[in-house]
Amino acid sequence: MQTQALLRFSRRLLVPALLGLGSCNFLDVGPPPTQVVDTNVYAADGSATAGVLGIYIGLTSRGTAVPGIANDAGLSVLLAVAADETVFPTTGYDSFRLNQISPAGNTASTVWSQAYTNIYQCNTAVAGLTASNSLTASLKTQLLGEAKFLRAFNYFYLTSLYGDVPLVLTTDYATSSTLGRTPRATVYAQVVTDLLDAQKQLSPAYPVSGERTRVNQAAATALLARAYLYQQNWSAAEAQASAVLAQTSLYSLPALSQVFLSNSQEAIWQLRRAGTISTNTAEATYFVPPSLTAAPTGTFQLTNSLSSAFGTPDNRASTWIGAYTVAGTTYRYPFKYQQRINTPNAGLATEYSVVLRLAEQYLIRAEARIRQGKVSDGIADLNAVRNRAGAPALSTGLSQADALLAVENERRLELFTEYGHRWFDLIRTGRVAAVLGPQKGVAWDPNDNVWPIPTTQLLANPALTQNPGY
């Protein structure tokens, strides 16, 4: 009951923020008078907790029809079609399928503005919590860790998508509104700094018993492992992934059918949709057809290249892929999230959106080990994931080059339609031209490796510059 009361209170705090920022561009507006910048919010334990919970709500609220990083299935939808995972039955997502994203389009602009709205909330929380002298010490430390993790999470995806982006660490509008673009390496360094702080500040236990919808120490460690992987810091990536994998009392690889259930043993961090819900997850809304007797018109299908990539045997194909036939045509769709419509008990979701999970940590460690020449150890990690899927073990005698291709393939089969893993993997490994060029039917344009800076931002802030090719 106390948690629900805090959620209601946090929504009251957050709504003015979203009204003031959600339809605007973070870097060109100041906070409205009712924004959660009042230092009184961080003067008491209850309101301070509600203020941080409001950041989570900002990641799950459906305040716009355009997906953001996490809300409304976000990058799981947009980057799946941009890569080689899904297709849409109409031309509605062609700008992503063909990698012809317009700087003036709503989606690139909304993802940017929603991320900076979230970052503003994080900056507000960090400043308010740091300055407060009236909070319970342990709670203050925990909330600071959550705020820094969430800031790192948003910046990780912002810089992965757009390249160099303004690094805003203040709530001062006069400063943030004139910032130019910060090099990606510097933004990644800030992500690492925030996550290292969060590691120290967060507890191994989850803040709410029985739920994994607020981050703990392992979540910071898991995202840190990924950040190090993207920075090609292989030894650090291996160490952080190993730290998560060692927590066998908290995490394990359950049956495939249980991975995406609420509070799954594999989940390191999940997002639960706020309020009374008619669907468990936005992912299911986008991916699961409303009817299995008609050709899909508003949901995504898997590409033939992905559907045919699964070997035999591999239970991921039968468990995580749905299929049905209409008029002689078979349609296959992502079926990781299987509850398109909520259960009769409104508000009681059986599935949560999984943001971080254990299998990724095996795959991170596998790649990091193979990159360091520890090929057999890396193959052992790949085989841990394959064993859960009922797929045959890979030979430990693979060459390093073949082992790295095995990592790419395993990440494709395990992490498809989850937060753009495939898209980012192809770009960070330099494989995007070889893989997507032939599938798109044109020579790959390296400028498409990043999204355009929104036109609205360029007009509002002369210090910003556009990415090449847009």
Domains and CATH numbers, the chain: 1-202+430-470 (1.25.40.390), 282-353 (no CATH)
Task: Express each pLDDT in 71-106 by its tens digit.
Answer: 888 899 999 999 999 999 999 999 999 999 999 998
pLDDT score of 217 more than 80 = yes
CA-CA distance, 307 to 303, in Å (whole number)? 6
Task: Tell me the β-bridge partners of 357.
Answer: 267
CA-CA distance, 117 to 403, in Å (whole number)? 41
Band of the pLDDT at 33, cuts 50, 70, 90? very low
Q: Is 270 helix (H, G, I), strand (E, B) or coil?
A: strand
Exposure string of 419-452, with b = 16+ CB inside 10 Å and e = fewer, is bbbbbbbbbebeebbebbeeebeeebeeebbbbb
Confidence (pLDDT) at 277: 59
pLDDT score of 23 more than 60 = no
232: how many CB neighbours lie within 10 A of its CB? 12
Is the Cβ–Cβ distance between 103 and 470 less than 8 Å? yes
- 398-404 contacts, C-beta under 8 A, 24 or more apart: 399/375, 400/370, 400/373, 400/375, 403/370, 403/375, 403/378, 403/379, 404/367, 404/370, 404/371, 404/429
One-letter amino acid for residue 157 of the chain: Y
User: How many residues in the chain?
Assistant: 470
Band of the pLDDT at 15, cuts 50, 70, 90? very low
One-letter amino acid for residue 200 of the chain: K
349: how many CB neighbours lie within 10 A of its CB? 20
User: Mean pLDDT across the stretch 354-359?
Assistant: 98
H/E run at residue 198? helix 184-201
Whole-number Cα distances in Å, 159 to 26, 154, 186, 300, 399: 16, 9, 10, 27, 33
Q: Is the torsion defined by CA of 151, 182, 62, 354 positive or negative? A: negative
Band of the pLDDT at 278, cuts 50, 70, 90? low
Is the Cβ–Cβ distance between 61 and 17 less than 8 Å? no
CA-CA distance, 286 to 65, in Å (whole number)? 12
Answer with the residue of higher pLDDT: 440 or 283. Answer: 283
User: Mean pLDDT across the stretch 6-13?
Assistant: 50
CA-based nearest residue to 389, from 367, 411, 372, 373: 411
pLDDT score of 123 more than 80 = yes
Task: Express each pLDDT in 175-214 by its tens digit.
Answer: 888 999 999 999 999 999 999 999 999 999 999 999 999 9
Q: Is 73 helix (H, G, I), strand (E, B) or coil?
A: helix
DSSP assignment of 305-358: HHHTT--SS-HHHHHSEEEEEETTEEEEEE-SS--SS--SSTT--SB-EEEEEH
Task: Express each pLDDT in 396-447 by its tens digit.
Answer: 999 999 999 999 999 999 999 999 999 999 999 999 999 999 988 888 999 9
CA-CA distance, 154 to 214, in Å (whole number)? 15
CA-CA distance, 20 to 232, in Å (whole number)? 39
CA-CA distance, 216 to 135, in Å (whole number)? 20
CA-CA distance, 41 to 127, in Å (whole number)? 11
Confidence (pLDDT) at 342: 65
Share the mean pLDDT of the chain: 90
Band of the pLDDT at 107, cuts 50, 70, 90? confident
pLDDT score of 61 more than 80 = no
Band of the pLDDT at 20, cuts 50, 70, 90? very low
Query: Taking the model in full, what pTM does it have?
Result: 0.93
Band of the pLDDT at 343, cuts 50, 70, 90? low
CA-based nearest residue to 438, from 21, 86, 84: 84
Q: Is 302 helix (H, G, I), strand (E, B) or coil?
A: strand
Band of the pLDDT at 30, cuts 50, 70, 90? very low
Percent of residues, the chain, with pLDDT higher than 90? 79
CA-CA distance, 171 to 330, in Å (whole number)? 52
Confidence (pLDDT) at 14: 45
Confidence (pLDDT) at 222: 99
Band of the pLDDT at 6, cuts 50, 70, 90? low
pLDDT score of 328 more than 50 = yes
pLDDT score of 110 more than 80 = yes
Percent of residues, the chain, with pLDDT higher than 70? 88
Peptide bond into 313 cis (omega under 30): yes
